[in-house]
């Protein structure tokens, strides 16, 4: 059993259900199966066990939501993961495209004491290397007020706040473009029908990049203002 009293598999399910439910809708069995790369019957069996433990509420053909206890447990796992990512990148020199997979392997074994020692060594960070907020020890998490680049209009000056950490190749590509959380850029143009978006990084003359629509969906930004005209 894990420090939280849950198996690694149960922790992965809670974390996945939490992330799938961020849009306010119940997580669907098919989506959980796809994220975790397991067969739907296996998902149904685990959801039944989690429901019996009071961690989720599962209504067949409707979806699954976390209970209050399940929500807290999910944030507990996410805190461990994001603290580990931050420590690996900040203290051990890992590249930001490799910390996610390493943290996935470590999060189930790390004790609460180890995580809190890492937090102290890091100076109580609020965000992990990809920009997502780190849940607090008491089980709360900031709700980022940012929108995907695909929703940003031409002429808008934005700050990149958070990027998806699921694809290492994408992260390496973004790093080569110097696009990391904290960088500001202006949207110069965008093509219709989900076409590419042309941006210019602030403070770097000539640093223009063309971002494909699919990649732009994984870049979450804070609008700083409109500089059109």
Q: What is the pTM of this model?
A: 0.88
The pLDDT tens digits of the residues spanning 45-91 come to 999 999 999 999 998 888 999 999 999 999 999 999 999 999 999 99
**Cβ atoms of 97 and 168 closer than 8 Å:** yes
Which regions in the chain score pLDDT beneath 70? 1-4, 204, 206, 227-229
Segment (H or E) for 201? strand 197-201
pLDDT score at 1: 42
pLDDT score at 146: 92
C-alpha distance from residue 161 to each of 110, 127, 165, 185, 199 (Å): 27, 10, 13, 11, 16
pLDDT score at 103: 93
The pLDDT tens digits of the residues spanning 115-134 come to 999 999 999 999 999 999 99
Alpha helices in the chain (DSSP H): 8-20, 29-36, 40-52, 68-90, 99-106, 112-122, 168-176, 213-216
pLDDT score at 44: 92
Coil, strand or helix: which one is 103? helix
- List, in order of start, the domains of the chain with CATH numbers: 1-143 (1.10.10.10), 147-226 (2.30.30.90)
């Amino acid at each position: 059993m894990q420090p939280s009293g849950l198996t690694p598999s149960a922790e992965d399910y809670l974390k996945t259900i939490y992330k799938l439910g961020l849009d306010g809708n119940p997580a669907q069995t098919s989506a959980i199966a796809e994220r975790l790369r397991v067969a739907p019957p296996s998902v149904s069996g685990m959801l039944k066990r989690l429901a019996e433990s009071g961690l989720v509420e599962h209504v067949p053909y409707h979806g699954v939501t976390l209970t209050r206890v399940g929500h807290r447990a999910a944030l507990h796992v996410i805190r461990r993961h994001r603290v580990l990512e931050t420590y690996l990148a900040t203290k051990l020199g890992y590249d930001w495209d490799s910390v996610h997979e390493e943290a996935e392997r470590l999060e189930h074994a790390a004790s609460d004491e180890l995580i809190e020692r890492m937090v102290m060594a890091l100076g109580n960070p609020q965000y992990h290397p990809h920009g997502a907020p780190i849940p607090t020890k008491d089980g709360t998490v900031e709700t980022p007020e940012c929108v995907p680049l695909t929703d940003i209009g031409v002429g808008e000056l934005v700050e990149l706040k958070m990027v998806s950490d699921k694809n290492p190749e994408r992260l390496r590509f973004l790093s080569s473009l110097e696009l990391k959380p904290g960088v500001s850029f202006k949207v110069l143009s965008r093509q219709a029908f989900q076409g590419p978006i042309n941006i210019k990084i602030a403070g770097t003359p000539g640093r223009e990049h063309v971002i494909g629509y699919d990649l732009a969906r994984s870049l979450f930004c804070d609008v700083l203002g409109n500089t059109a005209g």
